Chain A
């Protein structure tokens, strides 16, 4: 995390202002917004920002995805009312292909964190780190600069939600993954030994487990996280993923 972002986190808790990331905002009534926030202490919180679009829309302009700010809110229901805001740090600038990846991450969080009010400090700090990486990434080399970070975030998210994927253990037998064996991935169970030659090699899985990615291993991790995430989402596809794919298909 950059120093500005640490500064935001350091000022937390004073006067109930809590750090929050904007995941998404949509218009509500004539002048308001409904904003989905990602917070460390309360998970995903939906707030109404009353009058955010009036008076020149200054608040609406700040309520953009990927914005970290300080917020306080009140209310007992699902939908809270935003009471105070402070914007100590400038917005993170993410552009081009990285912006598409950022939108994917936000869609993923909104879809997966439904009715989650548990504290998610690890997810939130991982999210902040990932966004910093997206902002700083070399746009010409997405697969090297961004993919491993994205995969690590997805795996971490799955783990925090209780659906962790273990790359070093056979999901059905409970035995350690062997470098010389081949495995297939089964959502819900994990890696299972297979005799098929197109299975993932055990050594690749162990290296992914150690955080060691190359192009091939990044592809393996992508297939695995996709299968695990799709299983959790229950069949309804992610729009941002289709969008990203048509972009890649077009530029290829």
Chain B
């Protein structure tokens, strides 16, 4: 059974057999209560957490907290690739609009097309009072393709489609910034 538990823990990112064994022994020797709590919450979470039917973010409710909130600006929709990206933007405390989580990006070789990303759902949402869609996708080839695809699909909807600016990172010295970023930074320069 100990072996089974060790093996099961190896499914976590960053956890190899050695770390898994340390975790198992820690729970068994020193923290049985913690272990019980973990097993209960984990079992519950795995069954009850699904996706928000408006933004596709992970939630145990049918509509997530952000989508249900009265204080958010419903006219702005920020499209992100993953829940982790959403959390990153939320942590800035700067964005007040709603989200749409793609749960990936367009990657045909991995079998991920528009359907997997719920783009039809995004289109439907854009017909309901949204004025601006901010594409907060990664600066990768797949992110670029995803942004292009979404902007084309929303071309007929009455929304403004924008994309996050790319440029010099905070505290970044030009000398160490890669060429591609510098090109974008030059192209997107702002008047002072």
Contact = CB atoms under 8 A, between A and B. Distances in A.
A102 to B, nearest CB: 8
A243 B148 contact: no
Interface string A54-81: 0000100100111000000000000000
Nearest to A31: B14
B109 A250 contact: no
A104 B149 CA distance: 14
A251 B145 CA distance: 16
B130 to A, nearest CB: 18
A132 interface: no
A99 B144 contact: yes
B141 to A, nearest CB: 5
Contacts of B179: 90
A250 B153 contact: yes
Given A24-B109, A103-B108, A64 B149 contact: no
Contacts, number: 64
A95 B148 contact: yes
Q: Interface residues of A: mostly helix, strand, loop or mixed? A: helix
Interface string B27-69: 0000000000000000000000000000000000000000000
A17 interface: no
Interface string A171-203: 000000000000000000000000000000000
Interface stretch (B73-81, B86-94, B111-119): B111-119
Contact of B113 (A30, A66, A95, A243): A243
Contact of B111 (A104, A106, A239, A250): A239
A90 B14 contact: no
Contact of B110 (A26, A238, A251): A26
Report the interface size class on chain B.
20 to 34
Contacts of B155: 250-251
B180 A91 contact: yes
A107 B152 CA distance: 21
A242 B179 CA distance: 34
A137 interface: no
Contacts of B148: 95-97, 99-100
Given A36-B109, A100-B149, 10 more contacts: A24-B109, A30-B13, A106-B109, A110-B109, A239-B109, A239-B112, A240-B108, A242-B113, A243-B114, A250-B156
Interface of A: 23-24, 26, 30, 36, 58, 61, 64-66, 90-91, 95-97, 99-100, 103-104, 106-107, 110, 238-240, 242-243, 246-247, 250-251
The 6 closest A-B pairs by CB, nearest first: A240-B108, A239-B108, A239-B113, A107-B108, A24-B109, A65-B141
